[in-house]
Structure 1
Amino acid sequence: MDKQPTVVFRNVGQFYFPQTRVECHYSLTPEHQWSNKDWIGIFKMGWSSVRQYYTYSWALVPEGYTERTSVNCCAHFYACYLPRPTAAEYQFVYVDKMGKVCSRSRPFTFCAPKPLEELETLKEEQDEGDGEEELLLVIPRAQLLQTQLEKCLEKQADLQQAFDVAKKNIENEKEIIQIERIEWKMERDAMKEEIIELRENLRHSCEMMKRLEEKHKDVKYNQENLTSELSKLVAEKTENQEQIKDLEDDIKVLTDREKEANNELERLKDRVKKMSSQMMHDEEKRKSLQMEAESSIAEVRGLQERLEASDHAAECLRRELRELSTRQSNTHAELHQARLQVAQLTLQLSKEDLVLREERANSALEREAYKHAAETDKKKFQDLTCELERKEEWLQEERMERDNLEAELGREKVLLSDAKQELQELKASLRKIQKEKEEELLNKQDLVNYVRLLEQRLGIAPQTKPSCVSHGSSSEGDEDAPEASPRSLSSPLFLSDQLGQPDKAKTPTETHFQIRSNEIGFDTQ
């Protein structure tokens, strides 16, 4: 199988006119290693050596070209160096710096233009004094199409420049969006850290509630002990009911004391009611906080469930406290009755009186200890309520900060949506530009096809071509070379032969200067 060429010729025509400049379009593939010594020559079909070229041009690449990349290029062959119109076929050949043939084009011929068949008339206005006169210009349609083609190429260059500017703007927008996305991620991480702190605070509050439950268990244990003692006293009460009738006087004194004790109990009950109302108010606040927290982020919902569990535990504690208060009132009544019985027994039996006095003193001490414990529990409960209020205020502040952050996130989302809309608009404009570019390319292709058809149909009288280059045979060793093969002193083969003498070889700029001077001479003639 033949190896694929590293250089591909594009849009090679079948016919060319020697009186016009010939453009050779070609593409360099990534496999080709370009050098500034590469050149493109026009060879007559049947050539056997790279020295048998008719004319050549240096293979130039556009600015900013990087090696091992594909790029489209164009080489120009000026009219004064082209062969005369004959039926012989020629082809473009790409030769690298080592003299190796990289690619060949399909054959084409140079034909003489036919007599002019199609002309175009243009009106041109000129100012002469006060009036205006119109001039009719008759030009070939090919020239008119050539000017239109040049305008299309200029317009295409402008569109390409606008496309590059739009592409740069899109890249800048992408960088800005990337920066904003990074900032948004940083803010999200900060919010996650704040949520973790809130969870830790809730865990501390749950631990405090567990401690309260343990203290409540201790109170329960003390209450059970009291109930056992009360059961014993009730048993003694049943035994001593017959002796109570004789001790009514002592009962009156004890009733007065009972009234005082009842007053104290009522005061305690009022305090308990106030505490219960305050707890209910706290419950309502907590419930409102829970209702507001339900509409927050999904991550905070777990925290709300824990708060509800803690509220449920607190309600259980309140119920147990209420039961304790009721039991306490019952125990106070039963203790009072027990004291009455003990007083009656003291009047009858001295020994039992001493024992009952000791038991009454012990019960009084236990009651004072219980009152002291209740007061301490009350103070602790008040401290806990203060801490709960502080926690609620702190939660309120955190909720306000969270709302502010959510508002900022909403604004950021709006900005992001605006940026996305601008990107979509830019993409739509780019699509329009691409469509216009494609239409321009189609028009250009149509014009090129039409120009080729016109070139086949045009008929211009043959003109004598000036001998801008020296015509002669090739070297003595090349007998198969064409009879007329013009060469200049800046030939790439001459340069390759004179590599050891760089001062005698001409550079590509000198070659183009010679071509330009020959064009000027042709125009003057």
Structure 2
Amino acid sequence: MEESFIVPTSITDMTSADFSKVLFTGVQRSYSPGTPVSCFYTLTNGIIPNKKDWIGIYKVGWKTVRDYYTFLWSPMPDTDGQEQQILFQAYYLPKEDGEFYQFCYVDNQGVVRGASTPFRFQNISEQETCDDDILVVTTQDKVETFEKEKEALEKEKEELSCQVTELKECCKELEEKKHAAQVENSQLIEDLKHVRQELDEAKQTLSSAAAELNKKVAALEEKTTKQSQENESLRKTLGEHQLTLNNTLTEKKKLEEDMECLKTKIAVGVTEIKRLTEENQKLEEDKKKSNSSCKQAKSELDLLQAETELLKRDIQKLQSEIHNNQKNENELKQTKEQVQRLQEDLSKADRTAQLQELHAKIEKLQQLLKEADMRESQLKSDLRTERDKLKSTEMEYRNKETLLANWKNKFQKLELQHSKCELKIAEVTEACQHAARVADLREMEKKESEDFITRLQAKITDLEKQLSRRHQSPVTSLTPSAGPLTSVPHSQFDAAAQVPVSSLAASDLLFNNPYSPVSGAAAAADLVEETSLCPICAVNFPHLAEFEFHQHVQSHMRDCPYCNREFTEDEEDLFLQHVYSHDQ
């Protein structure tokens, strides 16, 4: 574990145990850039290979394991001690930069286990080897850079040596402090032994005093356990009664809100009934007016029909007279022809007497012709006037027929409105009756809840009085005669608290055990005195809670999706008509 805290660097001694676990072989002094480099290494017995071990190329002077230039995962060896080989591709390797690099083997915990000799990447122009000596031909600039790097490395070495000396001094100081602390610890241990002996003596005295106190406290514990059990039972009953009281108060508030909503609905229904009755009265008046106007129109139609019949008779008479006039005209034509013949005869005959007679006859005939012409003109004028009268009467007849049709349509619309108003009045009256029923139910529930609240309040006051009496009752306290007090163990109170309440006898408590079966039945009998009768299905529910009874009544009702009006199951037709009226 101490090896993981060492930060490996390139300046670390290569002969240490960590760096000798992996041995790199066949490392050249320089590699030509742009070509792949193969790395050869062997694992010693002191290292266990892992799939997450890797080999990296580091620049000389690296500080941490993350300062690698590139790396490859090391393959798992087939056999121990076998030489391994990995190949670094050329495009991952550094270019010719004059820097020195080295291979490092890093395990899965980030610890360097082996490092190679330095090498660098450069193109060698001339190379001469003689007795393992290499002559490298370089430029003056490279030499200067190497010297500068050498000076920098020497400075780093001096700084590190100073740091090492400082660390050694710190270690000496820490050893001196450690020795002083050991001496102090030995003294403290001796002091602790003396204190423990004193504590043992004090414990013996305390145990004797505690035994005496435990005997005296046993009587108190019995009394306190009994009183605590009674107090807990009374508190539980108080809590339950308070919960029921809160529930009843909330239900009371809900009932009051529902009563207010019902009152508003009833007021709205009454206003709607008044409005509908007024509309109904107006419609009845309109109906009466339309009936009178229809009767007048019918009488006028009858008169017009009589007049048209008279006019038709007059027209028939005029047509007969015209026919007679046509006959007279024919006779006149014949007489004219006779006159012409007579004139011809007179021209032939020179008799004066005959001429005079003929002149008299001609004059008479001319007078008759004039009278016939006058009658014909009068008859034509009478015909024209009668025809005009006929046209005017026909126009009036048509107008009166259109008026009659309009009055009939109005009368039908008024009858439809009247029927709708009657339906609305029936719906509103039913809704008012239903609201009155629901209001009666809510009043009954309100009365029951108020009675229940008064009963609960009376019980709560009784319980509070009992608790106040219990708290006011004097409790004898014991004081120890000698020796310090010890804390009473909690296990005794826990054992007393675990005693079931039903096991206590009724005679042990002042006001009996509230959790005994007899007292529970009596409380149930007190709480549920009246039975609930459903107003719709007439089913009796003797032991049903108030909200459950309300849910049962609401299950019989159907609500309108538009105005939230409620209908019973028997009012299915009214419910459908009401919903369709919203669609219209």
Decide which structure has the larger Cα Rg and report it.
2
Please indicate, yes or no, whether the TM-score normalized by the shorter chain is above 0.5.
Answer: no
Q: Give the TM-score category using the shorter length.
A: 0.3 to 0.5
What is the TM-score with the length of structure 1 in the denominator?
0.32
